[in-house]
């Protein structure tokens, strides 16, 4: 498959699916090792640079319908040395953040990775000491160990201050920065949707009713008109799906008997074929071999001997020169043979 694509690049111009430019030189075509998707090298280089600058790791194939990842060897040739070192650091942060058994030491300038062996201690108020800087902190809130207080009673700048511009995702604890705009935030790491001010989940709040009451009222960051259009769009989508479902129900009811009959005939034909094959197999396996019985062989011998005697008598009757004595002797000789049989 790869050879055919390379031949196409040699014979005619290759069109990149990102910039839609025609490339005549095969050296300017970049092929992803994992999925064999092809793009121009310049587009892939710009794509990887933008992914690193926005901290979107791991870097996947530029094709939106492909979910394969680029290898480190490919990225080493496409990125600069500084970008590649930054990508490896971001990749390590991504792996540790999404691993519930590993975490970074919260102490400044430590960066040590701590592995949690006991699963019962994960996301619970339990002290842990870093082996590098000897700092004891809480596994749940990542702050200094507080033996006489609960995590909810502590005023941490990442979680409890509503006007802070740096907070952690309430699901995966990934640090996020909010400058301005909508208060409905989606985490870039786990895709969790929540309110920036109170960190309440908004995954199932399609109409954004959370911003109509409570301390977060009218703090969405959009005008009333845009919020009304959003809700009207959601209602229109639900109504359209409902009408489509109601329209298709009668057609499904009419088509269902035909589909069932066709399916029944197919199953019936398959069962007939299976029964025929089973009968043939049984006939071939249990067919008895026919052996001649002694009585039938004796009858065959008697009939053959009588036929020979009749033929000899006819010959003697036709030939007058042969005496009658010879015929009688032949008959007498044949009788004992018949008796012996």
Nearest to 121 by CA among 103, 148, 96: 103
Q: Choose, from 182, 187, 258, 262, the residue flagged as catalytic.
A: 182
Neighbours of 220 (CB within 10 A): 21
DSSP line for 190-231: T--EEETTT--B-SS-TT-GGGGSSTTTT-SSS-HHHHHHHH
Q: Cα–Cα distance between 137 and 106 in angstroms, integer?
A: 8
Decide if 182 is catalytic: yes
Tell me if 166 sits within 8 A of 175, measured CB to CB: yes
| Alpha-carbon torsion angle 145, 147, 153, 158, nearest 10 | 10
- The runs of H, that is alpha helices, within the chain are 2-11, 41-53, 72-78, 81-97, 224-286, 294-318, 324-340
Fill in the DSSP letter of residue 69: B
Q: Is the bond preceding residue 58 a cis peptide, omega within 30 degrees?
A: yes
Q: Any idea which residues carry the catalytic annotation?
A: 182
């Amino acid at each position: 498959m790869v050879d055919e694509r390379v031949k196409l690049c040699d014979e005619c111009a290759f069109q990149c699916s990102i910039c839609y430019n025609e490339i005549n030189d095969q050296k300017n075509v970049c092929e992803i090792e994992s999925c064999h998707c092809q793009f121009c090298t310049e587009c892939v280089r710009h794509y990887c640079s933008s992914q690193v600058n926005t901290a979107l790791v791991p870097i996947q194939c530029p094709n939106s319908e492909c979910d394969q990842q680029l290898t480190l060897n490919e990225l080493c040739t496409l990125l600069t040395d500084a970008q590649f070192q930054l990508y490896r650091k971001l990749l390590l942060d991504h792996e540790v953040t999404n691993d519930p058994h590993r975490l970074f030491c919260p102490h400044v300038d430590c960066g040590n990775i701590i592995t949690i062996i006991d699963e019962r201690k994960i996301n619970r108020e339990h002290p842990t000491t870093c082996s590098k800087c000897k700092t004891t902190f809480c596994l749940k809130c990542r702050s200094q160990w507080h033996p006489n207080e609960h995590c909810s009673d502590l005023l941490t700048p990442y979680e409890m201050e509503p006007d802070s511009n740096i907070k952690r995702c309430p699901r995966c604890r990934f640090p996020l920065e909010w400058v301005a705009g909508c208060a409905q935030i989606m985490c870039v790491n786990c895709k969790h949707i929540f309110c920036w001010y109170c960190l309440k989940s908004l995954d199932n709040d399609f109409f954004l009713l959370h911003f109509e009451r409570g301390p977060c009222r009218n703090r969405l960051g959009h005008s009333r008109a845009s919020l009304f259009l959003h809700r009207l769009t959601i209602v229109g989508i639900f109504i359209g799906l409902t009408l489509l479902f109601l329209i298709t129900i009668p057609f499904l009811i009419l088509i269902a008997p035909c589909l069932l009959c066709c399916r029944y005939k197919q199953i019936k034909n398959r069962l007939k074929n299976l029964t025929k094959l089973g009968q043939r197999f049984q006939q071939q396996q249990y067919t008895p071999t026919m052996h001649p019985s002694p009585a039938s062989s004796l009858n065959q011998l008697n009939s053959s001997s009588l036929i020979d005697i009749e033929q000899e008598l006819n010959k003697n009757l036709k030939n007058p020169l042969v005496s009658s004595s010879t015929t009688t002797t032949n008959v007498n000789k044949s009788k004992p043979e018949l008796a012996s049989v």
